[in-house]
Amino acid sequence: MLDALTKRPGRRDGTIAQAVAAGMPAASHRSFADLGLASLSRGAAMLVLLALGGIVVALAHGAWPALSTFGFSFFDTENWNPVTERFGALAPIYGTLITSLIAMLIAVPVAIGVAIFLTEFCPPPLRRSLGVVIELLAGVPSIVFGFWGLFILAPFLQLHVQPAAIDGFVGIPVLQDIFAGPPYGIGMLTASLVLAIMVLPIMAAVLRDVFETTPTALKEAAYGVGATTWEVFRRIVLPHTRGSVIGAGILGLGRALGETMAVTFVIGNSHRISSSLLAPGTTISAAIANEFSEATGPLYTSSLVALGLLLFVITFIVLAIARLLLRTNREQSR
């Protein structure tokens, strides 16, 4: 006690004293630890960059034979014929973009609604249970969604939804082309619905956590001046979490773009572009999964690797746009 009371401010603590007693100055000890931590963190960052660079180099090397043979026509040609070794990626590109776009148009509003219900309206005893269910759905393997889509959703759409849509939109411009053709059950629309159901749980879970970060004092102040729940969400919660909402949407879009097995089950795997959402189609990942084991010739294999490189580029562009949106939102909020 006396020693503690008479301890001078400049006196070293036990840890530093031990370092000095061991013959190592305190400053050198701290510098050595900082240098080690900096080296480890720098090595981890370099390892990630090396892995990314290795993936890019491997994809570019494998895709070069196809790209050098077909040139730009590889990207704007629909024809995909392994017999004549004529390959074009336009149909997979179209299918990837359309299915992902429709899935996001369905999933984003629903995920926001689920998150609002869990944070604003759900009774406390039920909130935790529903949150656990949503998190469990987010962890369901994609192949399970594929089986469900093939054996449950596709027959239901074929018998009840697609015939009604075909008959109901006859004579209406644009819509009659979008919902034209025989009701196959499988097709672009079915794949889009499966993708929407797949990305919905993870987006809802992320948005729920994001909305809960809004300061309670701000919401209580808004309720205190007579604001409705919708006004609180639109004027308080959404501006406070706008950047995170964009991030959650990009997270769902990234999974939708790269999804393979679930889409392969229900999209029909046809290298054709049709204006009808009911027609079979394909995506980049589905085409690779379906045909890589059958690719015998070097040009065939190179074309599939080129599809993988193309999917990598599309994902990179999406992430770059997301970063731009987040930066713009951050600058506007200042």
Residues found in the chain: 334
Q: Which two tokens stand for residue 65?
A: 């034979």
For 120, residues 6+ apart whose C-beta sits below 8 A from its C-beta are 229, 232, 233
What's the pTM value of the predicted model, to 2 decimals? 0.83
* Amino acid (one-letter) located at 226: G
Classify residue 210 by burial, with Cβ atoms within 10 Å: 0-12, 13-18, 19+.
buried
* pLDDT tens track, the chain, 334 positions: 334 434 444 444 454 445 444 554 555 556 777 888 888 999 999 999 999 899 999 999 999 999 999 988 999 899 898 888 899 999 999 999 999 999 999 999 999 999 999 988 888 888 888 888 888 888 888 899 999 999 999 999 999 999 999 999 988 998 999 999 899 999 999 999 999 999 999 999 999 988 988 888 888 898 888 888 888 888 898 888 888 888 888 888 888 888 888 999 999 988 999 999 999 999 999 999 999 888 888 999 999 999 999 999 988 888 888 778 777 766 666 6
Rounded Cα gap, residues 181 and 166, in angstroms:
7
Q: What is the pLDDT of residues 179-205, one digit of tens each?
A: 998 999 999 999 999 999 999 999 999
For 153, residues 6+ apart whose C-beta sits below 8 A from its C-beta are 190, 193, 194, 266
Q: Which of 108, 94, 287, 315 is nearest to 196 (CA)?
A: 108
* Amino acid (one-letter) located at 134: I
The radius of gyration of the chain from alpha carbons, rounded to an integer in Å, stands at 27
**Is residue 268 classed as helix, strand or coil in its secondary structure?**
strand
Distance, CA of 96 to chain centre: 13
Strand partners, 112: none
Rounded Cα gap, residues 13 and 7, in angstroms:
10
> DSSP strand E in 82-238: where?
86-87
Q: What are phi and psi of 229, to 5 degrees?
A: -60, -40
Query: Domain locations in the chain?
Result: 68-333
Give me the CATH topology for the region 68-333: MetI-like fold (1.10.3720)
pLDDT at 1: 39
Q: Which two tokens stand for residue 27?
A: 């400053």
CB atoms within 10 A of CB 202: 20
CB of 272 closer than 8 Å to CB of 184: no
CB atoms within 10 A of CB 326: 16
Measured CA distances, 85 to 162, 196, 300, 302 (Å): 36, 35, 7, 11
Look up residue 281 and give its DSSP letter. Answer: B
CA angle 207, 210, 212 (to 5 degrees): 110
